[in-house]
């Protein structure tokens, strides 16, 4: 089922538009796919480009602009339930594609047949579901290389990231309770590390490393490398991950620290 827009004003639904074309325009003039005959709306106000299951909203340099979920925007990747506001009019974007499809099927990798390659026999090209803009789907041969953020600088003694990163990947997994490690001995005694990442490194790679991992059902400490295995409450760890309990005392390379849950 295609995604759709529901046009309303002052809470009254006016019309429903399935997004069944690759490009649909919104504007005051009659040739638009979605015509809103109101002087606050530009002749050609905005366009929505839909590629398979994704839709993108773009302001066509309109006089009064547009807002999505209350934020002025020029270009926006539409998500289910987004509210587009143009003047007094509201357009609700609905795309329940995922809930309607068997989730397992949806995850499966599928081949999108490359459109019109010169050597491909003409009759054989099958495009799944919708026509794809050939320029977009054109084969790309450039060297793949997109950089990522530099890592947090490796710190010799104890390393932890200061800020929680938003969990941007699709699945929202129930995170365990917030936890902290407080250093009890050594030059950093008294310092607290909030365990906000899935993996917090203790020590320095190449020398002595243990990691604290955050999993859906709790926190674990694992020895990675180095001559000395860490201990928990005086018990030296083996090679297996060890689950951490509230107020466990970890000792690593002569430094003691306490693990506890927060709040």
Partner 1 sequence: MRFEIAGVDMRIDDALEIISLTNPGMVRSHNEDSVACDAACGLVVLADGMGGYNAGEVASGIAVSVVATEICQRLQEANPIDRDEASGDELGVALLRDNIRKANLSIYQAAQSQPQYSGMGTTIVAGLFYDNSVVAGHVGDSRMYRLRDGVLETITRDHSLLQEQIDSGMISIEDARQSKNKNLVTRAVGIDADVEPEIHVHEVRIGDIYLLCSDGLNDMVEDEDIQSTLYAMQGNLPLAVDQLIQLANDNGGRDNVSVILVKVKGEFAASRGWLAKLLNWFGK
The contact pattern for partner 1, residues 8-47, with x = CB under 8 A and - = no contact, is ----------------------------------------
Q: Measure the CA angle with vertex 163, ends 217 and 147; round to 5°.
A: 100
Q: Around Cβ 193, how many Cβ atoms within 10 Å?
A: 21
- The interface with partner 1 within residues 171-190 (CB under 8 A) comprises 171, 173
To which residue do tokens 């002569």 refer? 254
Give the binding range for partner 1 (CB under 8 A) out of 31-39, 149-157, 228-236, 254-262: 149-157
**Applying CB under 8 A, which part among 19-27, 59-67, 163-171, 249-257 lies near partner 1?**
163-171
Quick one: which of 13, 155, 199, 249 contacts partner 1 (CB under 8 A)?
Answer: 199
Instruction: Return the HEC string of 64-78.
Output: CCEEECCEEECEEEC
The set of residues, in sequence order, having a beta carbon less than 8 Å from that of 168 and lying 6+ positions away, is none
Write b or e for each residue in 164-184: b if 16 or more Cβ atoms lie within 10 A of its Cβ, otherwise e: eeeeeeeeeeeeeeebbbebb
| Minimum distance, C-beta of residue 16 to partner 1, in the bound complex (Å) | 20
**Per-residue tokens: 185:** 């001995």
Phi-psi region of 190 (alpha: psi -120 to 50; beta: other; left: phi over 0): left
- Contact between 118 and partner 1 (CB under 8 A)? no
DSSP element (H, E) containing 242: strand 242-243
Report d(CA 257, CA 150) in Å as an integer: 28
Asked if 164 is part of the footprint of partner 1 (rule: CB under 8 A), the reply reads no
From 20-28, 130-138, 188-196, 249-257, span contacting partner 1 (CB under 8 A): 130-138
Among residue numbers 66 through 105, which ones bind partner 1 (CB under 8 A)?
Answer: 77, 79, 95, 97-98, 103-104
Q: Which spans of this chain sit near partner 1 (rule: CB under 8 A)?
A: 49, 51-54, 56, 77, 79, 95, 97-98, 103-104, 106-114, 119-120, 124, 128, 132, 135-152, 154, 165, 167-171, 173, 197-199, 201, 205-206, 209, 211, 213, 215-216, 222, 224-226, 239
């Amino acid at each position: 089922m295609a995604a759709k827009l529901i046009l309303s004003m002052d809470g009254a639904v006016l019309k429903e538009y399935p997004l069944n074309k690759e490009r649909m325009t919104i504007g005051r003039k009659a040739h638009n796919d979605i015509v809103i005959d109101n002087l606050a709306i530009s002749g050609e106000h905005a366009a929505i480009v839909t590629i398979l299951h994704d839709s993108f909203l773009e302001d066509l340099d309109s006089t009064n602009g547009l807002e999505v979920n209350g934020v002025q925007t020029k270009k926006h990747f539409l998500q289910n339930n987004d509210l587009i506001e143009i003047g007094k009019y509201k357009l609700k974007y609905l795309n329940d594609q995922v809930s309607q499809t068997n989730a397992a099927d949806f995850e499966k990798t599928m081949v999108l047949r490359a459109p019109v390659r010169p050597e491909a026999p003409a009759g054989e090209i099958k495009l799944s579901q919708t026509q794809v803009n050939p320029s977009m789907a054109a084969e790309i041969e450039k060297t793949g290389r997109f950089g990522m953020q530099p890592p947090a600088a490796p710190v010799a003694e104890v390393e932890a990231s200061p800020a929680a990163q938003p969990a941007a990947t699709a699945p929202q997994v129930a995170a365990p309770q917030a936890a902290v490690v407080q250093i009890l001995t050594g030059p950093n005694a008294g310092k607290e590390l909030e365990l906000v990442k899935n993996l917090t490194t203790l020590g320095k790679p190449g020398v002595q490393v243990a990691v604290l991992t955050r999993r859906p059902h709790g926190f674990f400490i694992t020895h990675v490398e180095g001559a000395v295995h860490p201990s928990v409450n005086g018990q030296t760890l083996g090679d297996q991950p060890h689950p951490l309990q509230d107020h466990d005392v970890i000792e690593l390379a002569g430094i003691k620290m306490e693990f506890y849950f927060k709040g």
